[in-house]
């Protein structure tokens, strides 16, 4: 049953990529990429999941002694946090470019800036 | 030693510090940025010093006080330290370069630049996969930010494409990393490598994603449209960092990935790398935007580095030497070229002609091109040499072939560009000169020459920059401001002294070649006294050629031979390029010569079979399956230099369009380098069989056909210098024929040709050059009747053509006599037919030369021209005397070498020289007797005629029996145009330019293929992302197919 | 150098002059005779036998002569010294030391290449005259000569291979003893090729486009007159004989005595005359094609089969 | 049309790759070596209750430093690019209609609470779930709420930049201190790890994480304000 999370993550990535590669409007591309990033983050977290275990917080319910048997893998959790932040950074950059594109070319259509080719 | 972690800390601290400063400040933030970049460079430099000089082992730096697999660790070794130094130095210089842009943008741009450099150092140092991902993302965002600094509005589009593609890459990377973590349980690169990732379930696929994502950052062939757009539109200083530092860091990251993947992934990396290298170079053929061309070139070089990384298993400990050589050569040249592009106002390749207003920049440009193409003495040369040898030792010949083909294409479009710089007319405000930018660019030149010295020092073959002739040639660069006459004296004395110095060490064969090349060169240089100006650039090029020749003769190992070969090629290219219309011809000369040189490189590499220092003499012991191939490659390589038929089309243009005193040098001396190569080859390898065909027999036919074709084509030329050029092809065909006879007299004949051809061809080129200088034209039908006005030139040409046609009294006959004796014992007779036909044909174009120029009717506009300048006539007269002496006493030169040659053919067929008669096994020849008899008969008849016609009355020009009417004008009565019309009807079909058409279609094919395929980059960001996805899927399917 | 001068047998010079004198007179008479035969074939009476002597005396007697420059002056000198040189470098009478002339100086190849000495000199001289017709004549002469020389060179090569020597005296020595071991019979293809090339070089009608008396009045020597023309006419008599002597030595067993030489030279000369009267004149490209199609295969055959 | 079909095909290929990954994936029955090490050593080495925070701040501190730099970079570039573009000094002349009643009073009530909650989250990062980034995001949401209610509100960029830079410098400073005093760069044992579970425990983790929280909050706010100011008033 625990593969559902990962499967949905993969499906989200595919949907996000499809949107990003077929949409013309840059804002839609950015949103699609965000969806894809969410999918990736979901996969990241799903990899760390172990059946029947709890969050890696050592408090009264999970004393230090039984930590090894009770908690799930904390490393993907740490990685996903960094991945989210980096996803945000890149999305912010894309938004800036979207703004500049509109200011420069008066359109949000990505296929309009094709003057650098061949 | 300061811990490398401070590089990261300094970068970040500086960036945050800049955040604190008020917006208005400019100079202080700029000073801080430079200071921090300086500190980072100093740290990296000190570590490099520790590793390189003190030989310290690579050091591990832990973070968070815990062992690596559980925390991120850095490793700094020799490679990392040098890459970090490269990154920080390029960053510092670019910051200096971008002073005005940074001031306009303010402190934020400086902070972004600092973080960019810091992130690159992070990518180099980190040993943790996820940390590598974080630093790579930092590089992505910093790049997206810095791209917008560019003044070019199109940078925006480039930035969007870059971000779209990098989003895709980061998705693949993340999925790859997490599954790899799941499979191996660790994020540390070294542990992953130890965990043998392919065996664990799911690990191979995860590694595939990671590997493909990192490769995508390297701009592989199908998916590199976005990279090219950034190069084209970004600020040149940023492009410099992007191509050198980002390229270097990412290739090092890919190298770390390969350590994880292990040997199974090397072929994949090699395949992707070589496809990128060749495709990018071919595409660059049709570019005319300078920065986009540099983009293609960077992508190609990174592809080459990936190929080298893919060969790390067979390169062993030479891996860092080769990869380092190519990477540093690419980095320094690209940085320099991008910085130069900032100085040029317009973006077309031809606009770079504006560089000519500053000769220093031209020198910088030449240095960067030589560095990039890998010409001696730069690191690329040593690296390519070792790479070729390791590939050949492993038998990966198709890879070696592809690399050499790509390098040849690259040399073609780069030196075509150099031709534009030297030859195209420059716009007046073409150069946006700023001293800061120029100094930064020039710093790259200094680093380039330092690298050349360093790589020479490290190479096992001896440092090229220690070779005295090369140093002597380079000495002329700083001396270029001296007046031409002084430099000429220095050059001549240098040549003579070097000949005198090495005289005792030459064996008779080398002595003849050395005599032709060094004192012979000095003799021709006499003609260079006649220029008044400083002649900037002539003497370094000429002396480079002579240095190459001097080193070629005494080369013992294959490396020295090949280095000398490339030196003389480069020197002669720069020499030929000086001619007024010589640009396309010099380019075709260089491409053919480099093609030949690369064949020679491949030949030596296969012959060496992995031996580190391969002696030329060892060519004789090459193992059987390779020997014929080595022979074939080396022979073709040498024959491109002697312009055998098939590879001869560069010669007419190159020799005809060169300057007056350059043509004899190139034609009389340079062609002999090819002959010397063939001599060396035949002495060592002798007869070889390839698929049952005797290779020397094929050479025999090639020599015969080029003799025929060369002479035939010479007949129909209207331009005097082209006529002489084609005749050189014919004469060289004779010499190759003589060599291919493989008997004592055949070789002696070839040597006779070396001497004869040098003397009369230099003489004829000098006289024609003198005439062209006086009459202002080289077209023969526009001259005529110059015998009265230019008697000395006439005498030189007459003696020259008598010698060349082989008529008895003069030395040409000696060559023919030895030729006849040689073919008596030759085992093949059919090629003789063609050579016999080629012999008399020489008469035709010789007569045409002397008739149309000197005899016949004098034109009106040429009535008042004077004799050729003194300094051009003097060498000709010396040559006349030399011809006479050589005709009278051929033994002077040939006796010693005749004895020397006996050792090659077991003593049979040698001449005996007692008394005045020279006799062979078949015939005899007494030059003195012939000269005396003919002289006596001639003088008696001449005196008799003088006595009878003592009252002969000289008449005016038109006083000829013209059946009663008066000749209208000199033009109508001087029979010169289309001189051999009937001959063209009879044998004209032989002179169809088939070879020219063949080579033109080849280049046309390449250009049109490039032009069609480059449409592949439509410019749409999403299309580029689709290309990347396609690339991933294709590599996946190939990999899946490949897996057992 | 000096010891070579001492042992040089000075008597050779007068003997050589004697050879030249004999051949000179024989040439004058024989060429006139051949002219007469050709005329008689055309049902004309033809010139008297001593016509050449009359022309010679007339030309030398002319008082006025003009010169177009140094090379023009040297043209005939080159021409005649070429003819005389060729004669002297080849041993005329086999076996007699008197008449082996200066053949010690060089062998067959010297003779083969010395033929061009005269042609080259003539070409330079005629070109200096500035007359377009002479230039056209020279181009035709040189073009035709290249094709004509090829079969001869192949024949010579075949003969040299057959007798394994390049010295003419040895070749003649090898052909002594009976007609059957002349090269004509031992190597017929070579002789056939050589005789075809002989036609090309004798300036007789099928291949006389060089002089082309009607079209470009006598081609190269158009501008020459008086003593220059005289010198050229002496060469026109001397040079064919010298060439035929080479052919005779190589292919027809040489001549042991003067009468044998006179007979053989006449017969060989008759071959070209015989062909000349029958065939019309070839254009230059036709003659080149003729040589390459007919004569050269024979030469190749000779070389390959020897 | 062909493009969409091509994309579809390629994504099918990618889907195949993911499928290959998916069915090759076997959930781990028990912790692998890295996770086990963290589970056993976090408590007594670093004294942090929240293992994820321990990994983020100390064990993989460099990543976090990288992240923070990413944010700093993003906000700097946005500042640079947008400032470079339009000149924003023109006064906001037109008056927007006042936003709805519910929104103004709601925001006036909620903003301080959100700020407090945000501060709580990043101060207790090492004890309870959450940490610097989550807290910073919450603070930024407060700023977003303010902007929603009053789009023409202008925050002082100087203050934001100041907070951002100081917290960045502190982070780097602590890192360097870790190298000088304790085991290595970013080692948190420069301060006493205190007794387990208390507020002031786990060495420098709370210090680092709170500054990270401040920095992230400041950067998000600066991004929001920069993007907001691009509104053509």
| pLDDT value of position B29 | 92
In the predicted structure, residue D70 carries a pLDDT above the cut 50: yes
| pLDDT value of position D94 | 60
| pLDDT value of position A84 | 92
Q: Across all residues in chain D, what is the average pLDDT? A: 84
DSSP E strands in chain C: the ranges are 66-67
Contacts of D33 in chain B (CB under 8 A): 69, 185-186
| pLDDT value of position D51 | 87
The CA distance from B502 to B491, in Å, is: 17
| pLDDT value of position B652 | 93
Contacts of A85 in chain D (CB under 8 A): 67, 70-71, 133, 216
In the predicted structure, residue B738 carries a pLDDT above the cut 80: yes
The CA distance from B554 to B544, in Å, is: 16
Please give, rounded to a whole number of angstroms, the shortest distance from the CA of D105 to a CA of chain A: 30
Task: Show me where the domains of chain B are located.
Answer: 1-127, 467-938
| pLDDT value of position C3 | 67
In the predicted structure, residue C37 carries a pLDDT above the cut 70: yes
Among A92, A102, A106, pick the best mutation site for testing chain D contact (most D Cβ within 10 A): A92
Average confidence (pLDDT) over D102-117: 90
Question: Does the distance separating the beta carbons of A118 and B1022 come in below 8 Å?
Answer: no
CB pairs under 8 A between A and D: 143
Average confidence (pLDDT) over B636-654: 93
Contacts of A100 in chain B (CB under 8 A): 148, 156
Give the pTM.
0.92
Contacts of B930 in chain C (CB under 8 A): 89, 105-106, 110
Question: Does the distance separating the beta carbons of D11 and A14 come in below 8 Å?
Answer: yes
Inform me whether the C-beta atom of residue A85 falls under 8 Å from chain B C-beta atoms. Answer: no
Task: Show me where the domains of chain A are located.
Answer: 3-112
The CA distance from C263 to C242, in Å, is: 14
| pLDDT value of position B969 | 84
pLDDT tens per residue, range C96-118:
888 888 888 888 888 888 888 88
Could you give the angle at which helices B744-775 and B811-824 cross, rounded to 10 degrees?
150
Cβ burial of B984 (10 Å; 0-12, 13-18, 19+) is middle
DSSP-derived 3-state class of residue D4: helix
Question: Does the distance separating the beta carbons of C160 and B844 come in below 8 Å?
Answer: no
Between β-strands B924-925 and B953-954, what pairing exists: parallel, antiparallel or unpaired? unpaired
**Tokens for B110?**
């400086």
pLDDT tens per residue, range C107-158:
888 888 888 888 888 888 888 888 888 888 888 888 988 889 899 999 999 9
| pLDDT value of position A54 | 86
First to last CA, chain D: 40
pLDDT tens per residue, range B542-586:
999 999 999 999 999 999 999 999 999 999 999 999 988 999 999
CB < 8 Å & 24+ apart, contacts of B1004-1009:
B1006/B282, B1006/B285, B1006/B409, B1007/B285, B1007/B286, B1009/B282
Across A81-90, B502-511, D16-25, least confident range: D16-25
Band the pLDDT of B588: cuts 50, 70, 90.
very high
Band the pLDDT of B24: cuts 50, 70, 90.
confident
| B376, HSE (Cβ side, Cα atoms, 13 Å) | 34
**Tokens for C41?**
């074939």
| C93, HSE (Cβ side, Cα atoms, 13 Å) | 19
Question: Does the distance separating the beta carbons of B1014 and A97 come in below 8 Å?
Answer: no
Q: Residues 6 or more apart from D107 whose CB is under 8 A from it? A: D145, D146, D148, D149
Average confidence (pLDDT) over B1005-1022: 91
Q: Helices (DSSP H) in B716-855: which residue ranges?
A: 720-740, 744-775, 791-805, 811-824, 830-854
Q: Distance of CA D12 to CAs A11, B177, B206, B764, Å?
A: 11, 21, 18, 73
In the predicted structure, residue B533 carries a pLDDT above the cut 50: yes
In the predicted structure, residue B466 carries a pLDDT above the cut 60: yes
Q: Residues 6 or more apart from B666 whose CB is under 8 A from it? A: B572, B575, B576, B654, B655, B658
Answer whether A52's CB lies under 8 Å from D30's CB. no
Average confidence (pLDDT) over B67-83: 89
| pLDDT value of position D85 | 52
Could you give the angle at which helices B650-657 and B583-608 cross, rounded to 10 degrees?
130
Answer whether D224's CB lies under 8 Å from D129's CB. no
> Which residue's structure tokens are 């036919």?
B701
Could you say which residues from 143 to 202 on chain B have a Cβ atom under 8 Å away from some Cβ of chain A? Answer: 144-145, 148, 153-154, 156-160, 163-164, 166-168, 170-171, 174-175, 177-179, 181-182, 187
**What SS3 string covers B7-68?**
HHHHHHHHHHHHHHCCCCCCHHHHHHHHHHHHHHHHHHHHHHHHHHCCCCCCEEEEECCCCH
Band the pLDDT of B525: cuts 50, 70, 90.
very high
Q: How far is CA B95 from its chain centroid? A: 33
| pLDDT value of position B201 | 64
Q: Which residue of C has its CA nearest to B812?
A: C113
Among B126, B164, B176, pick the best mutation site for testing chain A contact (most A Cβ within 10 A): B164
Nearest alpha carbon to residue C242 among C92, C32, C81: C92
Q: Across all residues in chain C, what is the average pLDDT? A: 88
Contacts of B948 in chain C (CB under 8 A): 60, 65, 227
Instruction: Supply the DSSP string of B282-309, one letter for each residue.
Output: HHHTT--BHHHHHHHHHHHHHHHHHHHH
Would you call the peptide bond into B143 cis, given omega within 30 degrees of 0 as the criterion? no
Band the pLDDT of D84: cuts 50, 70, 90.
low
In the predicted structure, residue C2 carries a pLDDT above the cut 70: no
Q: Rounded to the nearest 5 degrees, what angle is found at the Cα of D209, between the Cα atoms of D207 and D211? A: 70
Nearest alpha carbon to residue B579 among B650, B652, B663, B649: B663
| pLDDT value of position B204 | 86
| pLDDT value of position A30 | 94
Average confidence (pLDDT) over B534-540: 88
| pLDDT value of position D91 | 47
Answer whether D225's CB lies under 8 Å from D100's CB. no
Under DSSP, the state recorded for C281 is P
Question: Does the distance separating the beta carbons of A116 and B158 come in below 8 Å?
Answer: yes
| pLDDT value of position B203 | 81
| pLDDT value of position D161 | 85
Please give, rounded to a whole number of angstroms, the shortest distance from the CA of C296 to a CA of chain B: 9
Task: Show me where the domains of chain D are located.
Answer: 49-85+105-233
Please give, rounded to a whole number of angstroms, the shortest distance from the CA of B134 to a CA of chain D: 6
First to last CA, chain A: 50
In the predicted structure, residue B524 carries a pLDDT above the cut 90: yes
Band the pLDDT of B967: cuts 50, 70, 90.
confident
Q: Which residue of A has its CA nearest to D81?
A: A96
Answer whether D136's CB lies under 8 Å from D215's CB. yes
Answer whether B305's CB lies under 8 Å from B64's CB. no
The CA distance from C248 to C184, in Å, is: 10
| pLDDT value of position D98 | 74
The CA distance from B614 to B625, in Å, is: 18
Contacts of D173 in chain B (CB under 8 A): 13
| pLDDT value of position B717 | 92
pLDDT tens per residue, range C238-261:
999 999 999 999 999 888 889 999
b/e sequence B140-160, b meaning 16+ C-beta within 10 Å: bbbbbbbbbbbeeebbbbbbb
**How many helices (H) does chain B have, and how many strands (E)?**
43, 7
Instruction: Supply the DSSP string of C104-147, one letter for each residue.
Output: TSB-HHHHHHHHHHHHHHHHHHHHHTT-HHHHHHHHHHHHHHHH
Please give, rounded to a whole number of angstroms, the shortest distance from the CA of D50 to a CA of chain A: 5
The CA distance from B348 to B290, in Å, is: 6
Answer whether B844's CB lies under 8 Å from B715's CB. yes
Question: Does the distance separating the beta carbons of D70 and B134 come in below 8 Å?
Answer: yes
Question: Does the distance separating the beta carbons of B171 and A118 come in below 8 Å?
Answer: no
Band the pLDDT of B1021: cuts 50, 70, 90.
confident
**What SS3 string covers B564-618?**
HHHHHHHHHHHHHCCCCCCHHHHHHHHHHHHHHHHHHHHHHHHHHCCCCCCEHHH
Query: Chains with ≥3 Cβ pairs under 8 A against C?
Result: B
Strand partners of residue C136: none
| B321, HSE (Cβ side, Cα atoms, 13 Å) | 20
| pLDDT value of position B816 | 87
Nearest alpha carbon to residue B127 among B61, B34, B223, B198: B61
Among B784, B827, B937, pick the best mutation site for testing chain C contact (most C Cβ within 10 A): B937
The CA distance from B814 to B805, in Å, is: 11
pLDDT tens per residue, range B797-816:
999 988 888 888 888 888 88
CATH number belonging to the domain at B1-127, selected among 3.40.190, 2.30.30, 3.40.630, 1.20.120: 1.20.120
Instruction: Supply the DSSP string of D21-85, one letter for each residue.
Output: HHHH----SS--HHHHHHHHHIIIII--SBHHHHIIIIITHHHHHHHHHHHHHHHHHHHHHHHHH
Answer whether D169's CB lies under 8 Å from B16's CB. yes
The CA distance from D75 to D81, in Å, is: 10
Q: Which residue of C has its CA nearest to B956?
A: C68
The CA distance from B410 to B87, in Å, is: 25
Q: Across all residues in chain B, what is the average pLDDT? A: 90
In the predicted structure, residue D176 carries a pLDDT above the cut 50: yes
Fold of A3-112: Helix Hairpins (1.10.287)
Average confidence (pLDDT) over B378-404: 93
In the predicted structure, residue B655 carries a pLDDT above the cut 90: yes
Cβ burial of D93 (10 Å; 0-12, 13-18, 19+) is exposed
Q: Closest CB to C102: pick one of B915, B922, B929.
A: B929
Q: Which residue of A has its CA nearest to D227?
A: A96
pLDDT tens per residue, range A24-62:
899 999 999 999 999 999 999 998 888 888 888 888 778
Cβ burial of C121 (10 Å; 0-12, 13-18, 19+) is buried
b/e sequence B322-346, b meaning 16+ C-beta within 10 Å: bbbbbbbbbbbbbbbbbbbbbbbee
The CA distance from A29 to A113, in Å, is: 15
**Model ipTM value:** 0.87
């Amino acid at each position: 049953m625990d593969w559902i999370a990962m499967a949905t993550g993969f499906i989200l990535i595919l949907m996000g990529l499809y949107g990003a590669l077929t949409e013309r409007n840059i804002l839609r591309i950015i949103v699609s990429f965000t969806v894809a990033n969410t999918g990736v983050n979901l996969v990241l977290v799903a990899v760390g999941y172990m059946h029947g275990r709890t969050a890696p917080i050592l408090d009264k319910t999970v004393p230090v002694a039984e930590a090894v048997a009770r908690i799930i893998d904390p490393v993907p959790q740490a990685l996903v946090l960094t991945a989210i932040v980096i996803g945000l950074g890149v999305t912010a950059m894309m938004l800036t470019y979207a703004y500049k594109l509109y200011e420069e070319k008066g359109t949000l259509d990505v296929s309009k800036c094709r003057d650098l080719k061949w | 030693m300061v811990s490398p972690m401070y590089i990261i800390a300094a970068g970040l601290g500086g960036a945050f510090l800049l955040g604190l400063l008020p917006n208005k400040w400019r100079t202080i933030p700029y000073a801080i940025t430079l200071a921090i970049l300086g500190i980072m460079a100093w740290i990296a430099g000190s570590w490099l010093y520790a590793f390189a000089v003190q030989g310290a082992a690579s050091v591990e730096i832990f973070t968070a006080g815990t062992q690596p697999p559980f925390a991120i660790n850095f490793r700094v070794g020799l490679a990392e330290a040098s890459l970090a130094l490269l990154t920080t130095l390029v960053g510092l210089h670019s910051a200096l370069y971008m002073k005005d842009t940074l001031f306009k943008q303010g402190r934020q741009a400086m902070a972004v630049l600092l973080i960019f450099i810091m992130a690159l150092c992070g990518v180099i140092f980190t040993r943790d996969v996820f940390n590598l991902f974080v630093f790579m993302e930092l590089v992505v965002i910093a790049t997206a930010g810095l791209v917008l600094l560019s003044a070019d509005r199109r940078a925006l589009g480039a930035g969007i494409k870059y971000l779209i593609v990098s989003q895709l890459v980061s998705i693949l990377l993340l999925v790859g990393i997490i599954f790899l973590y799941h499979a191996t349980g660790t994020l540390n690169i070294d542990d992953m490598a130890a965990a043998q990732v392919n065996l664990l379930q799911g690990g191979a696929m995860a590694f595939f994603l990671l590997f493909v994502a990192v490769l995508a950052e390297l701009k592989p062939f199908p998916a590199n449209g976005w990279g090219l757009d950034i190069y084209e539109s970004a600020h040149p200083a940023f492009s410099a960092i992007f191509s050198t530092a980002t390229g270097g860091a990412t290739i090092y990251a890919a190298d770390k990935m390969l350590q994880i993947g292990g040997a199974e992934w090397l072929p994949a990396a090699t395949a992707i790398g070589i496809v990128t290298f060749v495709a990018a170079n071919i595409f660059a053929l049709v570019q005319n935007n300078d920065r986009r061309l540099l983009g293609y070139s960077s992508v190609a070089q990174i592809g080459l580095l990936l190929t080298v990384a893919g060969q790390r298993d067979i390169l062993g400990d030479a891996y860092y030497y080769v990869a380092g050589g190519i990477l540093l050569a690419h980095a320094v040249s690209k940085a320099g070229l991008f910085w130069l592009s900032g100085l040029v106002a317009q973006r077309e390749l031809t606009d770079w002609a504006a560089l000519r207003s500053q000769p220093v920049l031209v020198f910088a440009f030449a240095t960067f091109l030589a560095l990039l193409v890998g010409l001696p003495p730069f690191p690329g040369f040593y690296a390519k040499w070792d790479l070729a040898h390791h590939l050949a030792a492993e038998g990966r010949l198709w890879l070696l072939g592809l690399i050499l083909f790509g390098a040849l294409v690259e040399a073609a479009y780069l030196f075509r560009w150099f031709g534009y710089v030297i030859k195209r007319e420059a716009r007046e405000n073409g150069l946006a000169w700023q001293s800061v930018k120029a100094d930064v660019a020039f710093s790259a030149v200094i680093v380039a020459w330092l690298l050349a010295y360093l790589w020479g020092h490290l190479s096992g073959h001896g440092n090229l920059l220690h070779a005295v002739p090369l140093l002597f040639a380079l000495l002329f660069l700083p001396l270029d401001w001296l007046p031409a006459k002084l430099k000429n004296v220095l050059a001549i004395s240098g040549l003579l002294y070097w000949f005198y110095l090495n005289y005792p060490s030459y064996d008779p064969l080398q002595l003849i070649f050395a005599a032709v090349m060094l004192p012979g060169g000095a003799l021709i240089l006499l003609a260079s006294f006649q220029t008044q100006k400083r002649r900037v650039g002539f003497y370094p090029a000429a002396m480079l050629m002579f240095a190459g020749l001097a080193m070629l003769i005494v080369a013992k190992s294959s490396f020295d031979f090949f280095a000398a070969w490339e030196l003389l090629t480069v020197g002669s290219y720069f020499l030929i390029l000086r001619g007024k219309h010589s640009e396309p011809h010099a380019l075709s000369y260089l491409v053919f010569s480099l093609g030949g040189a690369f064949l020679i490189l491949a030949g030596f590499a296969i012959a060496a079979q992995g031996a580190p220092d391969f002696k030329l003499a060892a060519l004789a012991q090459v193992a059987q399956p390779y020997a014929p191939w080595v022979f074939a490659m080396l022979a073709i390589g040498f024959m491109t230099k002697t312009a055998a038929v098939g590879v001869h089309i560069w010669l007419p243009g190159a020799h005809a369009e060169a300057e007056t005193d350059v043509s004899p040098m190139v034609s009389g001396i340079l062609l002999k380098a090819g002959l010397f190569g063939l001599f060396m080859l035949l002495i060592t390898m002798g007869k070889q069989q390839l698929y049952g065909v005797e290779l020397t027999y094929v050479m025999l036919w090639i020599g015969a056909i080029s003799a025929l074709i060369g002479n035939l084509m010479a007949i129909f030329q209207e331009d005097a210098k082209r006529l002489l050029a084609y005749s050189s092809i014919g004469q060289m065909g004779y010499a190759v024929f003589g060599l291919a006879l493989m008997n004592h007299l055949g070789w002696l004949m070839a040597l006779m040709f070396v001497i004869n051809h040098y003397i009369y061809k230099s003489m004829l080129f000098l006289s024609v050059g003198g005439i062209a200088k006086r009459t202002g034209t080289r077209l023969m039908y526009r001259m005529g009747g110059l015998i009265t006005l230019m008697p000395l030139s006439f005498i030189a040409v007459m003696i020259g053509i008598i010698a060349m046609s082989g008529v008895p009294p003069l030395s040409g006959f000696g060559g023919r006599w030895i030729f006849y004796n040689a073919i008596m014992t030759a085992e093949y007779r059919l090629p003789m037919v063609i050579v016999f036909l080629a012999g008399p044909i020489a008469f035709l174009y010789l007569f045409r030369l002397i008739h149309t120029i000197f005899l016949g009717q004098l034109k009106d506009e040429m009535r008042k021209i004077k004799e050729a300048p003194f300094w051009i006539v003097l060498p000709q007269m010396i040559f006349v005397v030399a011809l006479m002496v050589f005709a009278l006493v051929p033994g002077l030169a040939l006796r010693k070498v005749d004895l020397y040659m006996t050792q090659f053919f077991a003593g049979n067929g040698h001449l005996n020289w007692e008394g005045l008669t020279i006799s062979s096994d078949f015939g005899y020849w007494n030059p003195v007797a012939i000269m005396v008899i003919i002289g006596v008969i001639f003088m008696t008849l001449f005196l008799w005629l003088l006595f009878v016609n003592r009252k002969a009355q000289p008449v005016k020009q038109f006083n000829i029996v013209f059946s009663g009417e008066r000749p209208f004008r000199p033009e109508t009565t001087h029979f010169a145009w289309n001189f051999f019309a009937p001959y063209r009807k009879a044998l004209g079909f032989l002179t169809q330019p088939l070879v020219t058409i063949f080579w033109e279609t080849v280049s046309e094919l390449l250009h049109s293929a490039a032009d069609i395929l480059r449409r592949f980059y439509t410019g749409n960001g999403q299309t580029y992302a689709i290309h990347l996805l396609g690339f991933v899927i294709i590599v996946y399917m190939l990999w899946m197919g490949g897996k057992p | 150098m000096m010891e070579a001068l001492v042992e040089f047998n000075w008597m050779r010079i007068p003997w050589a002059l004697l050879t030249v004198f004999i051949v000179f007179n024989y040439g004058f008479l024989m060429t006139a005779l051949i002219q007469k035969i050709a005329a008689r074939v055309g049902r004309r009476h033809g010139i008297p036998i001593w016509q050449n002597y009359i022309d010679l005396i007339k030309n030398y007697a002319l008082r006025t002569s003009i010169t177009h420059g140094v090379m023009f002056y040297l043209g005939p000198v080159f021409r005649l010294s070429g003819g005389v040189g060729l004669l002297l470098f080849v041993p005329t009478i086999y076996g007699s030391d008197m008449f082996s002339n200066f053949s010690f100086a060089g062998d067959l190849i010297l003779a083969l290449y010395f033929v061009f000495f005269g042609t080259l000199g003539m070409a330079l001289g005629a070109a200096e005259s500035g007359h377009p017709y002479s230039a056209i004549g020279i181009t035709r002469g040189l073009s035709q000569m290249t094709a004509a020389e090829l079969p001869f060179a192949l024949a010579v090569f075949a003969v040299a291979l057959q007798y394994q020597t390049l010295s003419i005296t040895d070749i003649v020595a090898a052909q002594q003893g009976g007609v059957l071991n002349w090269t004509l019979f031992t190597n017929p293809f070579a002789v056939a090729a050589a005789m075809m090339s002989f036609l090309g070089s004798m300036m007789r009608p099928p291949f006389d486009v060089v002089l082309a008396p009607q079209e470009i009045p006598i081609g190269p020597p158009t501008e020459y007159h008086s003593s220059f023309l005289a010198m050229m006419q002496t060469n026109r008599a001397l040079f064919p004989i010298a060439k035929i002597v080479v052919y005779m030595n190589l292919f027809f067993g040489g001549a042991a005595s003067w009468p044998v030489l006179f007979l053989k030279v006449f017969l060989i000369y008759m071959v070209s005359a015989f062909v000349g009267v029958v065939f019309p004149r070839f254009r230059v490209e036709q003659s080149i094609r003729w040589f390459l199609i007919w004569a050269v295969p024979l030469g190749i055959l000779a070389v390959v089969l020897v | 049309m062909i493009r969409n079909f091509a994309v579809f095909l390629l994504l099918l290929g990618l889907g195949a790759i993911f499928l290959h990954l998916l069915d090759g994936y076997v959930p781990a029955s028990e912790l692998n070596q890295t996770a086990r090490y963290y589970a056993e050593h976090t408590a007594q080495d670093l004294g942090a209750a929240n293992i994820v925070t321990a990994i983020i701040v100390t064990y993989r501190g460099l990543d976090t430093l990288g992240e923070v730099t990413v944010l700093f970079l993003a906000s700097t570039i946005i500042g640079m690019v947008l400032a470079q573009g339009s000149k924003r000094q023109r006064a906001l002349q037109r008056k927007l209609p006042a936003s709805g009643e519910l929104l103004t009073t709601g925001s006036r009530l909620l903003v301080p609470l959100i700020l407090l909650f945000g501060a709580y989250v990043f101060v207790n990062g090492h004890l309870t779930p959450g940490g610097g980034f989550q807290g910073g995001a919450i603070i930024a949401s407060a700023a977003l709420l303010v902007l929603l209610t009053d789009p023409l509100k202008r925050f002082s960029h100087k203050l934001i930049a100041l907070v951002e830079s100081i917290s960045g410098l502190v982070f780097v400073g602590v890192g360097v201190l870790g190298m000088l005093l304790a085991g290595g760069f970013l080692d948190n044992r420069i301060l006493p790890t205190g007794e387990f579970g208390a507020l002031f425990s786990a060495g420098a983790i709370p210090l680092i994480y709170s500054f990270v929280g401040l920095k992230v909050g400041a950067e998000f706010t600066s991004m929001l304000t920069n993007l907001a100011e691009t509104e053509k008033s």
